[in-house]
Structure 1
Amino acid sequence: MGSLGDHAGGTGAGGGSVGGGGSGRGNTRVIAGRYRLEERLARGGMGVVWRATDHLLGRQVAVKELALDETLSESEAAQQRELTLREARAVAQLRHPHIIVVHDVVVQDEHPYVVMELIEGGSLAGRIARSGPLDAHAVARIGIDLLGALRTAHASGILHRDLKPANVLLETATDRVVLTDFGIAQVTGATTLTEVGSFVGSPEYTAPERMAGERTGPESDLWSLGALLVTALAGESPFRRDSIGGVLHAVIYEELRPPPAAAPLLPVVLGLLDRDPERRLDAAEAERLLRAYVETGRMPVVTRERPGRGGRAGLSGLPGLSGLPGLHGRPGRGGHTPTRHHPSTGPRTPAGGHPHIEPAGHPHAKPGGQGRAVLIAAALVAAVTGAGVSAVLLLARGGDGGGTPGTPGTSASVPPPSPSPTVSVTTKTPGPSTPEAPRGYRIAKDPEGFALAVPEGFRRRTDGPRVSYVSPGGTYRIGIKKSAPEPGGPLAAQRRAAAEGPRDNPGYRDGRVSETTRNGRPAALREFTWNGFDDAEGARRTVDLCWEEGGRMYSVWVSAPVAYAAQARRYFDAAVDTFVRR
């Protein structure tokens, strides 16, 4: 869900920045009689961000223009506009050096525009994508700045609810850290979009209690900060998995095993990532520990017990890294780690059956047990991943020896905005000649003899033997290639392609090839990052699955800027899941 921060900064490598330095197309429009839109800095899910001049005050600003989606109903369009306006109202209340400044909100021709300060620099996500993890001292300073921003927001009754590296800006000239994208912020007393059926947030950075649909508070933002700190230290979210189902399982069930890079800030990381919000490290204590580290190079020894449910050990239990408490004070459930494999190989729902999610590592969960089960994924998976399916994840919270993880046979149906079948979300499998388009997609019956689901609005292009379906503006590209089988099969073909990667893709890096299957057939998955088409857009991430079928070799890939890799992966999953020969 886009808002102030779902666009790239000046470097173009990461999302979440109201940043200058792009080289987008010029514009001559003037809105509200004073803001001249001059240069497109970036585009995102909800609009375009422009560098603009405020002629009244003679200063440079950033202006976000909300995109109109002609597929939305009148009520849905109004809801989308309200999201942006609410974001602006929430942020405009705040005054803090590490919170983005909103100057103005204007509506012209039913288009809302948000006028913000212009930050010359990219996002933390972009910095990590370009240069890799940051050192612990730099991460600690970022953490201190963000804690200050959050404490100010929380004191005003405002929750951010989408704290992640893409929404943290780094000003080039001053190294100032700026928190942006309050587009899903919840102002105390205001109706939230979750109350009308939409989940908002980024699953890898979403606290367990928010996933459980429970009332959330400042503690949920602090969980997100803990995940962000690990990402900055290690270069990857601690909850990143190959599917949304895997992410949900990791956040809610799996033991937290911090990477070695997190060791310098370990007490803060583990304290913020306590699954029990009542025991979670608070902002003041986290800031105290981080300041001590910045000043001395050492993290203070944490010896005190923190009160919690059931008499659990608090931060004094830090050496036991494999025993992070489970949700609501229950121990982690057996420490299962799900098998990671390509989404297209996931189990399928029998014809006519309802799709469901079961926690990985619990394939034989039995019904029953005491306590109530929390229904999560019906709204969560549908809204976040856009799965055009019903989905259920039951988290049992029974008494001693009571609840067990969710069981099949229960389902809830929530109409989602966009699809993403994954390994943990079983989807209805249409017949080979009649794939079904998830909501927001259409079935492209290609002249080359195949069909697959592509998002509405994507247009077909050809480049020799390759067929592409490209989003407006070229942000996302879904590619398909049909060719003769190659010696050694898909795995050998992908390894050869990886070896030639630097020649075919400038700046080729972070490449990996893994063996997998698709519908029982041998397949190979290749992933890599490269410099992209231009400096304004920045680095792109490509995911490519190759397999043999019907005497031919097929390759399906999706490419997008690094900042939009998560959405691109959802498009990829949908394309692979629905692909059929015709």
Structure 2
Amino acid sequence: MDAGEGQRLLAGRYALGERLGRGGMGTVWQARDELLDREVAVKELTVSHLPEEELEILQSRMKREARAAARIKHPGVITIHDVLEQDGRPWIVMELIDGRSLADVISQDGTLTPREAAGVGTQVLAALHRGHQLGVLHRDVKPANVLLEHGTGRVVLLDFGIATFEGSTELTRPGDLVGSPDYLAPERAQGERPGPASDLWGLGATLYAAVEGESPFKRSSPITTLAAVVGEPLPEPRRAGALGPVLAALMAKDPADRPGADQALRMLAEVTAGHTLEIKAAPAPRPQVEPTQSVPVVDRSGPDGPDGSNGPVAAPEPPTARLTRRRFWPRVLVAGVVTALLAGGATYAMTGKSSEDPNPPVSQSSPAPMPAPKGYRWTDDPGGFRFLLPTEGGTWVRSVENTQIYYSPDNRQRYLQFAVAVGQPLEPIAHFRELETTVKSGKDYRQVALTKVDVNGAEGAVWEFTYTKDGIRRHVKDVEFRDAKGTSYTLLVATPDNDKDWVVGQRILTTVLNEFVPTR
């Protein structure tokens, strides 16, 4: 079969058609494979004005792209059909996908919802994870390299042109920095060796752009952009909702603080499924906690905390409403969490019994649903719930004060707090507003969020705020929901208000919420 008049024929087989797009390294054409009678895409290296040495590097990168993509057999990675050379430069023949890049979708249609973005992220992460298992790093994850296929929901990761894999040589010269600056992980911006966590940073920045409309650290020049990536905290997302804590975890400055692929997939799956605080979701067969919402209010790290007389106190009994032993949105309602952060140092009447136990009793009444992930162990709390207790960052000690259950590795500089209140008369949002009337008089109080939410069909609320105590800025997040029988559940996390501690705190909270199981 001959190519039509005016069409260019490659290798006597691929008839070039219309141009589909152009990137930094080349042009992509729609073509027809005359031998197999199918539509394909062909990528041509179109840079020719560079010095010979740089042109050779680009040609080698393009060939590496084909090898890297061909090495990964995964639906989220484009299929490579052929690699050929013509006119002294390489051409890659690949599967033709009818779709648009995520960058085009954002610019043409607007931002994605958190749930949509999480769905895209799940597929991209699955493709990255498969590559990482084979020793392949992508190194340029960004919206322009994520393709959304029309009508199928399939998401494909493109452009492995600067990918690296085990056993290959580096196709850069000293001082070269490859990748898009505003999607480059901090360690790469500082010239350190990249790893799988570097690709997860790029994924986080990509999903941030998907929901916010632009990358978090884009500035007026590459230099100022890289400086922001390395030195500035992640801007608080405005539209991310339940996806926010996932973004914060993926874009932790230290790669060691980022979640692994398995944990990140679970976090994204929760958001995609709608089991989140910000998304109203019909009750599901296995309701789960939302990975992005955090915990209760008030810092009770010492004798100078909230004034216990000004707020409701959680009942000491475990919930009387029947709770099945399936994963349930862990919102051990912070009933009774009143944080009196009163200026001048108000005192918190600590009249309840306090006890500490680094190894609380573990009930064997029911088996753990799955092996604990790295850095956690299953703990059955005597209060009537099972959760994943961190094993890193020190020994997490359990203590109880006025029916509030705490776990902390450092005398409540950082801690998790649980509470259950039976017969709570106030709806969660009203409860939080009542608590806030006391807390907002504390030093430097600033509300981050106070929102009514639907938690798997139950009324709920989330309250996040910062304040200063004992000269230390604190960050707290509190989630509460009330079931049909009036039992309220709350879970709270509190850390010093700095980027590193808060990212780790939210990641811990996400893990605890995802796997929380009432046992009574």
Q: Which interval holds the TM-score relative to the shorter structure?
A: 0.5 to 0.7
Q: Could you tell me how far apart the structure 1 residues matched to 2:112 and 2:68 are?
A: 31
Q: Could you tell me how far apart the structure 2 residues matched to 1:62 and 1:27 are?
A: 18
SS of the aligned residue for 2:69 comes to helix
Aligned residue for 1:139? 117
**Residues 1:31 and 1:318: Cα distance change in structure 2 (over 3 Å):** farther
Q: Could you tell me how far apart the structure 1 residues matched to 2:190 and 2:391 are?
A: 23
8 Å CA contact 1:257, 1:322 repeated in 2: no
- TM-superposed CA distance for 1:92, in Å, is 0.8
SS of the aligned residue for 1:139 comes to helix
Aligned residue for 1:32? 11
**Residues 1:304 and 1:275: Cα distance change in structure 2 (over 3 Å):** farther
Aligned residue for 1:62? 41
Aligned residue for 2:364? none
Q: Could you tell me how far apart the structure 2 residues matched to 1:174 and 1:315 are?
A: 44
Aligned residue for 2:273? 295
Is 1:241 matched with 2:219?
Answer: yes
**Residues 1:315 and 1:68: Cα distance change in structure 2 (over 3 Å):** farther
Aligned residue for 2:66? 88
Aligned residue for 2:499? 324
Aligned residue for 1:53? 32
Is 1:42 matched with 2:217?
Answer: no
Q: Could you tell me how far apart the structure 2 residues matched to 1:277 and 1:292 are?
A: 23
**Residues 1:106 and 1:191: Cα distance change in structure 2 (over 3 Å):** same
- TM-superposed CA distance for 1:26, in Å, is 9.2
Q: Could you tell me how far apart the structure 2 residues matched to 1:105 and 1:84 are?
A: 10
Deviations 1:7-32 (A, max 9, x none): xxxxxxxxxxxxxxxxxx99511111
Deviations 1:38-83 (A, max 9, x none): 222222332221110011111000001111414422x322222111
Which ranges in structure 1 are unaligned for 5 or more consecutive residues? Answer: 1-24, 330-582
- TM-superposed CA distance for 1:323, in Å, is 1.7
8 Å CA contact 1:238, 1:258 repeated in 2: no
Aligned residue for 2:100? 122
Q: Could you tell me how far apart the structure 1 residues matched to 2:89 and 2:252 are?
A: 42
**Residues 1:68 and 1:128: Cα distance change in structure 2 (over 3 Å):** closer
SS of the aligned residue for 1:143 comes to helix
Aligned residue for 1:270? 248
Deviations 1:135-189 (A, max 9, x none): 1110110111011101111011000000000100011121211100111001112
* Aligned residue type for 2:162: I
Aligned residue for 1:168? 146
Aligned residue for 2:351? none
Q: Which has the higher contact order (CA 8 A, sep 6+)?
A: 2
Q: Could you tell me how far apart the structure 1 residues matched to 2:59 and 2:38 are?
A: 26
**Residues 1:100 and 1:314: Cα distance change in structure 2 (over 3 Å):** farther
Task: Within 5 Å, give how 1:97-496 maps onto structure 2.
Answer: 97-298=75-276, 299-300=290-291, 305=390, 307=392, 319=477, 323-325=498-500
Q: Could you tell me how far apart the structure 2 residues matched to 1:210 and 1:322 are?
A: 26
8 Å CA contact 2:101, 2:144 repeated in 1: yes
The count of residues paired between Structure 1 and Structure 2 equals 302
Q: Could you tell me how far apart the structure 2 residues matched to 1:158 and 1:99 are?
A: 12
Deviations 1:243-288 (A, max 9, x none): 2232122211112232221231122111111111112111111111
Of the structure 1 ranges 217-226 and 299-308, higher mean CA displacement relative to structure 2 is found in 299-308
SS of the aligned residue for 1:198 comes to coil
8 Å CA contact 1:164, 1:224 repeated in 2: yes
* Aligned residue type for 2:204: G
SS of the aligned residue for 1:65 comes to strand
8 Å CA contact 1:27, 1:39 repeated in 2: no
Aligned residue for 1:347? none
Q: Could you tell me how far apart the structure 2 residues matched to 1:222 and 1:39 are?
A: 34
SS of the aligned residue for 1:126 comes to helix
* Aligned residue type for 1:323: N
8 Å CA contact 2:26, 2:45 repeated in 1: yes
Aligned residue for 2:304? none
Report the aligned-residue RMSD. Answer: 2.8
**Residues 1:130 and 1:296: Cα distance change in structure 2 (over 3 Å):** closer
Q: Could you tell me how far apart the structure 2 residues matched to 1:142 and 1:314 are?
A: 33
Task: Within 5 Å, give how 1:545-560 maps onto structure 2.
Answer: none
Q: Could you tell me how far apart the structure 2 residues matched to 1:80 and 1:211 are?
A: 21
* Aligned residue type for 1:61: V
- TM-superposed CA distance for 1:193, in Å, is 2.4
SS of the aligned residue for 1:261 comes to coil
- TM-superposed CA distance for 1:121, in Å, is 1.2
8 Å CA contact 1:308, 1:314 repeated in 2: no
Which ranges in structure 2 are unaligned for 5 or more consecutive residues? Answer: 277-289, 295-387, 395-408, 417-474, 478-494, 505-520
After TM superposition, the score normalised by the length of structure 1 is 0.49
**Residues 1:250 and 1:76: Cα distance change in structure 2 (over 3 Å):** closer
* Aligned residue type for 1:151: H
Aligned residue for 1:358? none
- TM-superposed CA distance for 1:129, in Å, is 0.4
Q: Could you tell me how far apart the structure 2 residues matched to 1:43 and 1:26 are?
A: 24
**Residues 1:109 and 1:227: Cα distance change in structure 2 (over 3 Å):** same
* Aligned residue type for 1:179: L
* Aligned residue type for 1:325: K
Which has the higher Rg, Structure 1 or Structure 2? 2
SS of the aligned residue for 2:256 comes to coil
- TM-superposed CA distance for 1:98, in Å, is 1.0
**Residues 1:228 and 1:53: Cα distance change in structure 2 (over 3 Å):** same
SS of the aligned residue for 2:257 comes to coil
Q: Could you tell me how far apart the structure 1 residues matched to 2:199 and 2:252 are?
A: 12
8 Å CA contact 1:54, 1:61 repeated in 2: yes
**Residues 1:284 and 1:83: Cα distance change in structure 2 (over 3 Å):** same
8 Å CA contact 1:268, 1:290 repeated in 2: yes
Q: Could you tell me how far apart the structure 1 residues matched to 2:149 and 2:391 are?
A: 37
**Residues 1:90 and 1:155: Cα distance change in structure 2 (over 3 Å):** same
Q: Could you tell me how far apart the structure 2 residues matched to 1:269 and 1:247 are?
A: 18
- TM-superposed CA distance for 1:131, in Å, is 1.5
